[in-house]
Structure 1
Amino acid sequence: MPPASTKPRGLFPPAFFKKDLLILEQLVGKDFKLKYRRSFLGVAWSVLNPLLMMVIMSIVFSYLFGSNVENFPLYLIVGNVTFTLMADSTNAALTSIIQAAPLLKKIKVHRYIFPVQKVLFALVNYSFSLIAVAIVMLFFRIMPTLNLLWLPVGLLLLMFFCVGVGLTIGALAVFFRDVIHLWGVVLTAWTYLTPIFWDLSLLEAKHAPMWIISLVKINPMYNYLQFMRDIFLWQRPPSPELLGMCTLWAAIAMLIGIFVFRKTEHKFILYV
């Protein structure tokens, strides 16, 4: 009788996923404890911060600049917490490989875990921010509808987008430290290109060139913000076109991220 094969069944054995999930859980828990350690209010800051920003920005942009958006505070907080989710997750993923250098040199671990873990931790913080969104909806007497069932879909697509971007910039930062400084500039420009505290009708009212309006519309975060505002503010399901754009950007980001990461990860240990 021939000896039993020691080759694992299937392309990815169950132990492959169990080990990664365990490490992800431990790393997210560690970041959570470090973020709120010795903080009197703790996770309440994740609720208070978007609320305070919403109050200040609502006063500035609603009264001084005359925003005509209905329920502008809700429009603002939904856009702000969604963009912050992307900014926080990619910012953390940017240096995740570099910061994990001591661990990479000691044990064998899949390197993609570190950017993914930062995105998951940002998602945990985002979940607390949704309490602030719920408070604003309650204040303005906007009742939730079944359209909120689209929330997991929108978050999943946004997570894939953030993971893809995180894999790309996290890998590039290992070899080119300038990426760390450049990403801050990119995020600043991205903030103003995305209608967080303004709406597209302002550009149309100012007769902005079509190429600027088109640039805003193909902006990935414009599409993700529209998705969230549809289900929270305007209480309607995302249109097929919007859903398609969100899916397209998630797929593009993941494909680029996986390609760049797999091409470079074997050299990380030499540069971290």
Structure 2
Amino acid sequence: MNVDWKIIRKYIPLLQQLVLRDLKIKYRRSFLGYLWSLMNPLLMMWILTMIFSYVFRFDIPNYPLYLITGQIVFGFFSESTTVAMSAVLSNAGLLKKVYLPKFVFPLASVISSFVNMLFSLVAIFIVMVATDVSLQPTLLFLPLGLVILFVFSLGIGLALSSLSVYFRDMFHLYGVLTTAWSFATPIFYPVNIIPEDLRYILYYNPLYYILDFFRKIILYDTVPDGSDIMLCIAISCISLVVGISIFRKLQNKFVMYI
């Protein structure tokens, strides 16, 4: 995987403008603006906690924190990859007029979603305070988890953004896939309710390991062991390598299809 850092540095001002544009568009004409990044996960957590704690009675210690951690991690992945998928097509007019490295558009989309998620992380700390969970040294691993999640999502986003140029059905298929993926990831349910003969679905789900990393350091006050860390890093790196490879292979003919 050869990443031309000189090109990335050269186009940092463009990346900044694209990220700011995406953030402004997301909250344009919204009265509460960026507060929705904080309120959305809290409101959804409250609703789902009522449903799954009292109706279905999932017996999970500190279910609100368990739930909101899963919501924010999967929510960022879903949002960032979805917006990255349309990044090249939505900037087709600009690409036809001037030469720009095409990867900056999906990269900017993932970065803008990442900035949005950073606001949402405040919701996790609010729930920690509300449920009497003290801040532990394990939270020092949070930046590493965020980098792993960002890199994994960027790799998927790069692949989707290039494939969607040639196959517009990707927009419809990916919506179905993310819904199925959310149910295959223990966001709101405990792992132990999955029958043993179906648990292999979790083991082939890369987001399961990344989400487990976050829950260990936030909810369970546990330092992930070396094998867990290396596995998550490997998952994110493989995603990025595959994403860059697909993007580079397909990008030369983008102009013919956009």
TM-score grouping bracket, smaller chain normalisation: over 0.9
User: Partner residue of 1:253?
Assistant: 239
* Matched residue type, 1:38: R
- Separation of aligned partners in 1, 2:46 and 2:236: 32
Which of 220, 226, 229 lines up with 1:240 in the alignment?
226
Show CA shifts across 1:30-71 (max 9, x none).
Answer: 111111222111111111110000000001111111111100
Computed over aligned residues only, the root mean square deviation of the Cα atoms, in angstroms, reads: 1.4
TM-score when scaled to structure 1? 0.91
What CA distance in whole angstroms lies between the structure 1 residues aligned with 2:231 and 2:199? 16
Q: CA deviation at 1:17?
A: 3.2
Partners of 1:238 and 1:108 lie apart in 2 by 44
**1:56 aligned to 2:47?**
yes
Shift in alpha-carbon separation, 1:244–1:214, aligned structure 2, 3 A: farther
Secondary structure of the structure 2 residue equivalent to 1:86:
helix
Aligned pairs (5 A) from 1:5-84: 14=6, 16-84=7-75
* Pairing of 1:1-272 with structure 2 (within 5 A): 14=6, 16-203=7-194, 208-210=195-197, 212-272=198-258
Q: What code does the residue aligned with 1:227 have?
A: F
1:244 offset after TM fit, Å?
A: 2.3
What is the SS of the residue equivalent to 1:110? coil
Task: Measure how far apart 1:209 and its partner are.
Answer: 3.6
Measured at CA, do residues 12 and 252 of structure 1 come closer, stay the same or move farther in structure 2, by a change above 3 Å? Answer: closer
Quote how far apart the aligned CAs of 1:18 are. Answer: 2.9
With over 3 angstroms needed to count, the CA separation of the structure-2 counterparts of 1:214 and 1:241, relative to structure 1, is farther
Taking structure 2 as the reference length, what is the TM-score of the superposition? Answer: 0.96
Q: How big is the shift at 1:241?
A: 2.7
Deviations 1:142-175 (A, max 9, x none): 1111111111111111111111101111100000
Per-residue displacement from partner, 1:225-270 (whole Å, max 9, x unpaired)?
A: 1111111111111222321221121122112111111111000010
Structure 1 pair 111–199 and aligned structure 2 pair: CA distance change class (3 A): same
1:183 and 1:38 map into 2 onto residues whose CA distance is 28
How big is the shift at 1:218?
Answer: 2.8
Q: Which secondary structure does the structure 1 equivalent of 2:210 belong to?
A: helix
SS at match of 2:15: helix
Separation (CA, whole Å) in 1 of partners of 2:156 and 2:130: 36
Q: Name the SS of the counterpart of 2:144 in structure 1.
A: helix
**Structure 2: distance between partners of 1:12 and 1:22:** 16
238-247 vs 259-268, which moves further? 238-247
Question: Unmatched 5+ residue regions in structure 1?
Answer: 1-10
Structure 2 unaligned regions, length at least 5? none
